[in-house]
Amino acid sequence: MSFNIATSGLNAVTKQLSAISNNIANGGTVGYKSMRAEFSSLYAGGQAMGVGVNSISQSITQNGGLNGTGRSLDLAISGNGFFMTRDSSGNLSYTRDGTTETDSQGYLSSKGKRLQGYPVDASGQLQTGVIGDLRISAGSIPAKATDSMGFTGNLNANSEVPSVTTFNKDDSKSYNNTYTSKIYDSLGREHTLEQYFVKTAENKWEAHYFVDGKAATPASQALEFSNNGVLTSPTSATNITATIPGAADLAIALDYAGTSQYGSEFNVSKNSPNGYAAGEKNGESIDDDGKVYATYSNGERMLQGQLVLANFANPNGLSSEDGTAWSANNQSGQAILGVPKSGLNGFIKSAALEGSNVDMTEQLVGLMSAQRNYQANTKVISTNDSMMNALFQAL
């Protein structure tokens, strides 16, 4: 009986040594979670039969450290959650390994499996009701003419009405302040929109418009403020048009929402005309909320989709596939899906990877302990063999 018990101990310790060896070997594997042999006593009819390994568990909920890589498509999750991936057969798996790249078709993939998230439609809007493969478009983007502009500033309430009452943009005594914005036509060519602000009376101003030095239509717009310095007119965007040789006419909706008149210096806090020149794709970027963008040489970036993270009621119950990827089962529960930075989900850190959570000191101590256990069991077998030889010789 002692021989069988010692043999069971050797088998169990061998499995423990295998788990420890695997941990040490994967000390540098991205997203790896350390393994542990779970021992249990073996009994039959109330009789001790030795020891066995009930299961090999992984410390899935213990996160590794985040290490910067400088590569924009390397991703790490700071906090809870798993990346969701789908293989070519349609099977879902979950991982903390964010070693991501784009395949030949532009799909984001990790170790041959495509990352899942909310894609965008033809107009660039997120389809939050659909989860699918995320793809980054290749190629260039055409020029876009400026058609809207948000402008917020403060006009100094202490300003005096100009001494020259007839406005002339070439005479600085006929206006109080000026501001120039860069805009684009339908061919992606740059132009300037100049605004000249003239105080006409208490709480009343006029804005005069010029595109490339020529008067736009309308040539001016009255601005009125309340006694508290709040803009009261206009209440909607001012539609400014201008003729551009060789391109479509410019039509810009200029919105002064938030503009004020207080007793402080003239300043502009928002100047946001849209529009841009044509650009070539030169990279990708992923924000901390998981939104994926393609970046272009003209400084623009276009939304391509948003990563979806998975969480579980019992993450430690997931079924291991290869040490860094898992699948859901009855013990883990079904995946709870959400975008990064929502609910209990962590945020995305790009240009970084999550390292292995293996504690080398702990593993080496475990290795020495397992070695002693192995030696003790072999000693039992050796002693049992000596006793059996002595018994046979006595017979």
**What CATH number is attached to the domain comprising 253?**
2.60.98.20
Residues 232 and 311 in one domain: no
Q: Which of 307, 295, 302, 341 is nearest to 75 (CA)?
A: 307
Q: What is the mean pLDDT of residues 232-248?
A: 96
Instruction: Specify the residue for token string 């004020």.
Output: 260
Residue 213 CB neighbour total at 10 angstroms: 9
**DSSP reduced 3-state for 390:** helix
Flag whether pLDDT at 83 surpasses 90. yes
Cα distance between residue 286 and residue 350, in whole Å: 6
Are residue 172 and residue 212 in the same domain, yes or no? yes
DSSP state letters, 33-60 = --EEEEEEEEEETTEEEEEEEEEEEE-T
Q: Report residue 279's pLDDT band, with 50, 70 and 90 as the boundaries.
A: very high
176 and 250 share a domain?
Answer: yes
- Asked whether residue 249 carries a pLDDT value surpassing 90, the answer given is yes
Q: Are residues 253 and 227 in the same domain?
A: yes
Q: Is the pLDDT assigned to residue 317 strictly greater than 60?
A: yes
Query: Which residues form the domain of 181?
Result: 148-273
Q: Please, what is the Cα angle at 95 between 89 and 98, to 5 degrees?
A: 105
Based on the fold, state whether residues 153 and 268 are members of the same structural domain.
yes
CB 119 within 8 A of CB 134: yes
Q: CB neighbours (10 Å) of residue 365?
A: 12
Residue 372: its pLDDT value, please? 80
Weakest mean pLDDT among 55-59, 102-106, 195-199, 307-311: 55-59
Residues 6+ apart with CB under 8 A from 1: none
What pLDDT is recorded for position 381? 67
- 3 has a pLDDT exceeding 60: no
The residue among 247, 273, 299 that closes a domain is 273
User: Which residue, 215, 248, 273, sits at the end of a domain?
Assistant: 273
- The mean pLDDT of the chain is 90
User: Is 210 found in the same domain as 175?
Assistant: yes
31 and 134 co-located in one domain? no
> Can you give the pLDDT at residue 330?
94
- Does 382 score more than 80 pLDDT? no
DSSP 8-state symbol, 263: S
Q: Is the pLDDT of residue 52 over 70?
A: no
Over residues 132-139, the mean pLDDT reads: 91
Helix (H, G, I), strand (E, B) or coil at 19: helix
Residue with more model confidence, 182 or 50: 182
Confidence band (pLDDT; 50, 70, 90) for 58?
Answer: confident
Residue at a domain's end among 215, 246, 273? 273
**349 and 388 fall within a common domain:** no
Dihedral pair phi/psi, residue 179, rounded to 5°: -150, 140
217 and 154 both lie in a single domain: yes
> Residue 340: helix, strand or coil by DSSP?
coil
- Compute φ and ψ for 79, nearest 5 degrees: 120, -150
Residues 23 and 84 in one domain: no
Please indicate, yes or no, whether residues 187 and 111 belong to a single structural domain of this protein: no
Please give the tally of structural domains in the chain: 3
- Cβ pair 373, 10 in contact under 8 A: no
Query: What distance in Å separates the CA atoms of residue 96 and residue 74, rounded to the nearest whole number?
Result: 11
> Which of these ranges, 48-52, 133-137, 320-324, 352-356, has the smallest mean pLDDT?
48-52
For residue 344, what are the contacts with CB-CB under 8 A and spacing of at least 6?
A: 79, 80, 81, 311
Same domain, 80 and 93: yes
H-helix or E-strand containing 290?
none
- Indicate the pLDDT class of residue 309, thresholds 50, 70 and 90: very high
